[in-house]
Amino acid sequence: MSDTTIYIGDLVTVKKELQKFIALPEWGIVINETVIIPSDLPPEEQMDPIDSFVVFFPSNDDTLTIPKKCLKKIVILEE
């Protein structure tokens, strides 16, 4: 079984069940680890920081911050 833990430098894609909601390129490269700190919320709706990755998508030369739980590692198998 392959390792599905995501590290900086790994190829990733947005999980299939989320792809129908957002239009992102097929794959990207993890370039950093970060957190998203939710702000501008009413005091009664406070949220914890969201562990995320900064992902570079070379097909459209774009860099996005995406929650870790939304990504899936692309595993390349050698024969």
Q: Which helix (H) or strand (E) holds 14?
A: strand 11-14
Is residue 9 within 8 A of residue 29, CB to CB? The reply is: yes
Q: How far apart are CA 72 and CA 7, in angstroms?
A: 11
Count CB atoms within 10 A of the CB of residue 10: 18
Instruction: Kindly report the pTM of this predicted structure.
Output: 0.83
Q: What is the pLDDT along the chain (79 residues), one digit of tens a residue?
A: 457 899 999 999 999 888 888 877 789 999 999 999 888 777 777 888 899 999 999 999 999 999 999 999 998 887 7
**Neighbouring C-alpha atoms within 13 Å toward the C-beta of 4:** 7
